């Protein structure tokens, strides 16, 4: 993912990339259950060019963690990419995708990563059930929408 798009200053689009609509099901507040419980709130921001997640979670070691994630279209990779920043100093990049059948993907880094989340959006759009997995580990996750 490019650190910036300075070279494109004269050609940046005035409207958000249509691929962001693939993540519209995330808009609202979610309660996350599993090994890292917490809440996530997603909203569109900055003219609709970014899906913004603000979150609070409790790590398996009992530490409270909060942060923010900015998701947008990345021309370099032709994917929905994000930067996640948290109060523990995290500055992570992720790749996001939602398939037509409701399968939700989040890769730590790029799509070639062996550290990823794969989940399924319920038919009513109110629950995502899935698993974070990586070589030698992982954990199950259930996220339930609690508000708009």
- Whether 146 has a pLDDT exceeding 80, the answer reads yes
The confidence score (pLDDT) of residue 142 equals 98
Confidence of residue 139 (pLDDT cuts 50, 70, 90): very high
CA angle, 99 as apex, 27 and 47 as ends, to 5°? 35
For residue range 20-38, list pLDDT tens digits in order. 999 999 999 999 999 999 9
- Of residues 31 and 10, more confidence is placed in 31
**Cα pseudo-dihedral 40, 94, 79, 22, rounded to 10:** -20
Q: What is the mean pLDDT of the chain?
A: 93
DSSP E strand stretches across the chain: 28-34, 38-45, 50-58, 64-74, 79-86, 91-98, 103-108, 116-121, 127-134, 137-147
- Percent of the chain exceeding pLDDT 90 equals 84
Measured CA to CA, the distance from residue 45 to residue 53 in angstroms comes to 10
For residue range 32-82, list pLDDT tens digits in order. 999 999 999 999 999 999 999 999 999 989 999 999 999 999 989 999 999
What would the mean pLDDT of 111-130 be, rounded to a whole number?
A: 97
């Amino acid at each position: 993912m490019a650190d910036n798009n300075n070279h494109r200053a004269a050609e940046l689009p005035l409207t958000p990339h249509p691929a962001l609509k693939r993540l519209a099901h995330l808009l609202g507040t979610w309660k996350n259950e599993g090994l890292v419980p917490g809440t996530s709130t997603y909203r569109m921001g900055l003219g609709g060019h970014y899906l913004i997640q603000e979150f609070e979670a409790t790590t398996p070691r009992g530490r409270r963690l909060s942060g923010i994630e900015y998701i947008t279209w990345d021309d370099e990779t032709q994917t929905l990419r994000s930067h996640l920043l948290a109060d523990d100093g995290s500055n992570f990049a992720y790749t996001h995708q939602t398939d037509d059948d409701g399968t939700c993907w989040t890769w730590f880094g790029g799509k070639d990563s062996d550290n990823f989340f794969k989940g399924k959006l319920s038919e009513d759009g109110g629950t995502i059930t899935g698993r974070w997995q990586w070589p030698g580990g992982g954990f199950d996750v259930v996220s339930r929408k609690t508000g708009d």
